[in-house]
């Protein structure tokens, strides 16, 4: 079972322009009926992206991304995992003695609690967290 990071779900959105490794990972997960989860933190990062584009004045692109985000929430609504009290405890533990990458460590805490592999381009951001990692990007 997988917890996909923001960079992976964003890459999938590109369709035919997506990285071939990510496309292959996604196709295999779907073919094998492997559950894919998102962290609530990822939803926040996607929302932030929509709002940044809107703030910069590109209303058309913001509208496109808004619709995509709404579809993500429909598709993954029951597979969005929150940073609850237990995950917050794990997150606090992961921040000492290395406080870097606070948001990524929130994702790591959720993955650890649910025994999920984190799928991300930036595996080094999760180093030392004691979890399974997978970088599906072909050229990394």
Percentage of residues in the chain with pLDDT exceeding 70?
100
CB neighbours of residue 88 within 10 Å: 14
Alpha-carbon dihedral angle through residues 100, 102, 103, 108, given to the nearest 10 degrees: 90
**Cα–Cα distance, 36 to 106 (Å, whole number):** 17
Question: Per-residue pLDDT tens for 69-104?
Answer: 999 999 999 999 999 999 999 999 999 988 888 999
| Complete domains list, the chain, with CATH | 2-134 (3.40.50.1010)
Question: Per-residue pLDDT tens for 100-140?
Answer: 889 999 999 999 999 999 999 999 999 899 999 999 998 77
């Amino acid at each position: 079972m997988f917890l996909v990071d923001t960079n992976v779900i964003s890459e999938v959105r590109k369709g035919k322009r997506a990285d071939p490794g990510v496309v292959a990972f996604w196709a295999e997960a779907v073919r094998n009926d492997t559950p894919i989860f998102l962290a609530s933190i990822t939803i926040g990062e996607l929302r932030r992206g929509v709002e940044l584009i809107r703030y910069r004045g590109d209303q058309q692109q913001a509208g496109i991304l808004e619709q995509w985000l709404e579809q993500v929430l429909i598709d993954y609504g029951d597979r969005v995992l929150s940073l609850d009290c237990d995950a917050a405890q794990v997150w606090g533990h992961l921040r000492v003695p290395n406080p870097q990458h606070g948001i990524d460590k929130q994702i790591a805490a959720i993955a650890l609690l649910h025994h999920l592999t984190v799928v991300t381009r930036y595996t080094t951001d999760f180093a030392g967290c004691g979890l399974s990692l997978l970088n599906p990007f072909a050229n990394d």
